[in-house]
Amino acid sequence: MTHALSRRGVALWLVFAASLAVAADGARAVPAAEVEAAPVAEEQYDVIIVGAGMAGIVAARMLTDAGLRVTVLEARERVGGRLVALQVPGGAIDQGAMWIHGGEAGNAVYDAAVEANLTLSPRQNYGSLTLFDAQGARSSPASYLRAYTQLNSRLIPQMAALRATPGAPDTSLAAEYSAFLDSATLSPQQVDQANVIMHTRWQALLNGNITRLSVLRLNDAKVLPAVDVMLEGGMPALADELAQGLDVLLDTVVTGIEHSADLVVVRTEGGETFTAKHAVVTLPLGLLKSGAVAFTPALPEEKAAAIDSMGYGLLDKAIFVFNTSFWDTGSDFLLREMPDWSGRWSVFLNYQKLFPSVKALVAIHVADTALALEGMSDDEVVDEGMAVLRQMYGPDVPEPIQTSVTRWAADPFSAGSYSYFAVGNPRNMTRALAAPVGRLLFAGEATSDKPASVLGAYLSGVREAERILTLRGDGNYSYGLAPPSVEAALQAAG
Ligand X SMILES: *[C@@H]1O[C@H](CO)[C@@H](O)[C@H](O)[C@H]1NC(C)=O
Binding site feature residues: 74-75, 254, 445
Pairing between β-strand 254-259 and β-strand 100-101 as defined by DSSP bridges: unpaired
x/- mask, ligand X, residues 280-299, rule CB under 6 A, reads --------------------
Q: What angle do CA 436, 439, 443 make, to 5 degrees?
A: 45
Output the DSSP codes for 83-147.
--EEEETTEEEESS---EET-STT-HHHHHHHHTTPPBPPPP-TT-EEEE-TTS-B--HHHHHHH
Among 101, 431, 439, 450, binds ligand X (CB under 6 A): 431
Nearest to ligand X of 211, 296 (CB atom) = 211
**Between 100 and 205, CB nearer to ligand X:** 205
- Closer CB to ligand X, residue 185 or residue 491? 491
> How many H-runs (helices) and E-runs (strands) does the chain carry?
18, 20
- The percent of the chain in helix, strand and coil, each rounded to the nearest 5, is 35, 20, 45
What character string, x for contact with ligand X (CB under 6 A) and - otherwise, covers 186-215?
-----------------x-----xxx----
Name which of residues 16 to 35 contact ligand X (CB under 6 A): 19
Taking the least distance from each CB to ligand X, the nearer of 355 and 442 is 442
Asked whether the beta carbons of 38 and 273 are under 8 A apart, the reply is yes
For position 140 contacting ligand X by CB under 6 A, the verdict is no
Q: Closer to ligand X at the Cβ: 132 or 202?
A: 202
Report how far residue 109's alpha carbon sits from residue 460's, in angstroms, rounded to the nearest whole number: 12
* 341 binding ligand X? (CB under 6 A): yes
Nearest approach in angstroms of CB 41 to ligand X is: 30
Cβ proximity to ligand X: between 266 and 409 the closer is 409
Residue from 56, 343, 416, 456 that binds ligand X (CB under 6 A)? 343
Closest separation in Å from C-beta 490 to ligand X: 8
Phi, psi of 360 (to 5 degrees): -145, 145
* Cβ contact 315:408 at 8 Å: yes
Q: CA-CA distance, 353 to 387, in Å (whole number)? A: 23
- Binding residues for ligand X, rule CB under 6 A, total 27
Q: Fill in the per-residue mask, 375 to 404: x = in contact with ligand X (CB under 6 A), - = not in contact.
A: -----------------------xx-x---
Rounded distance, CA 329 to CA 322, Å?
13
Binding-site residue set for FAD:
74-75, 254, 445
Q: Which is nearer to ligand X, 210 or 265 (CB)?
A: 210
- Considering the rule CB under 6 A, would residue 268 count as an interface residue with ligand X? no
In angstroms, give the least distance from the CB of 75 to ligand X.
27
Binding-site member from 2, 6, 77, 117 for ligand X (CB under 6 A):
117
- Determine if 366 is a binding residue for ligand X (CB under 6 A): yes
Query: Do 263 and 275 touch, CB atoms closer than 8 A?
Result: yes
Q: Is 330 in the site for ligand X (CB under 6 A)?
A: no
Distance in angstroms (rounded) separating the CA atoms of residues 100 and 292:
29
The Cα–Cα gap between 256 and 265 comes to: 8
Minimum distance, C-beta of residue 454 to ligand X, in the bound complex (Å): 18
Q: How far is the CB of 73 from ligand X (least distance, A)?
A: 26
Using a 10 angstrom Cβ sphere, with 0-12 exposed, 13-18 middle and 19 or more buried, the burial of residue 298 is: exposed
Helix (H, G, I), strand (E, B) or coil at 439: coil
Window 146 to 175, contacts with ligand X (CB under 6 A): none
**C-beta of 63: minimal distance to ligand X in Å?**
20
Tell me the pairing of strands 347-350 and 360-366: antiparallel
Nearer to ligand X, 116 or 253 (CB): 116
479 binds ligand X (CB under 6 A): yes
For the bound state, the minimum distance from the C-beta of residue 301 to ligand X, rounded and expressed in Å, comes to 12
Interface region with ligand X, contact rule CB under 6 A, candidates 96-104, 139-147, 339-347, 404-412: 339-347
Q: Which is nearer to ligand X, 14 or 145 (CB)?
A: 14
Task: Pick the stretch among 64-72, 348-356, 402-410, 423-431 that binds ligand X (CB under 6 A).
Answer: 423-431
Minimum CB distance to ligand X smaller for 382 or for 432: 432
Angle at which helix 156-164 crosses helix 173-183, to 10 degrees, equals: 130
Distance between CA 183 and CA 463 in Å, rounded? 46
Among 323, 329, 357, 485, binds ligand X (CB under 6 A): 323
| DSSP string for residues in 347-399 | EEEEHHHH-TT--EEEEEEEHHHHHHHHTS-HHHHHHHHHHHHHHHH-TTPPP
Amino acid letter, residue 426:
P
Q: Taking the complex as a whole, how short is the minimal distance between the CB of residue 436 and ligand X, in angstroms?
A: 11
Q: Per rule CB under 6 A, is residue 357 in the interface with ligand X? A: no
| Contact of 64 with 70, CB cutoff 8 Å | yes
Q: Apex CA 48: angle with CA 268 and CA 293, to 5°? A: 40
Stretch that binds ligand X, among 57-65, 266-274, 367-375, 408-416 (CB under 6 A): 367-375
Q: Which of 111, 170, 368, 487 binds ligand X (CB under 6 A)?
A: 368
Binding residues vs ligand X (CB under 6 A): 19, 116-117, 203, 209-211, 323, 340-343, 366-369, 398-399, 401, 426, 428, 431-432, 435, 476, 478-479
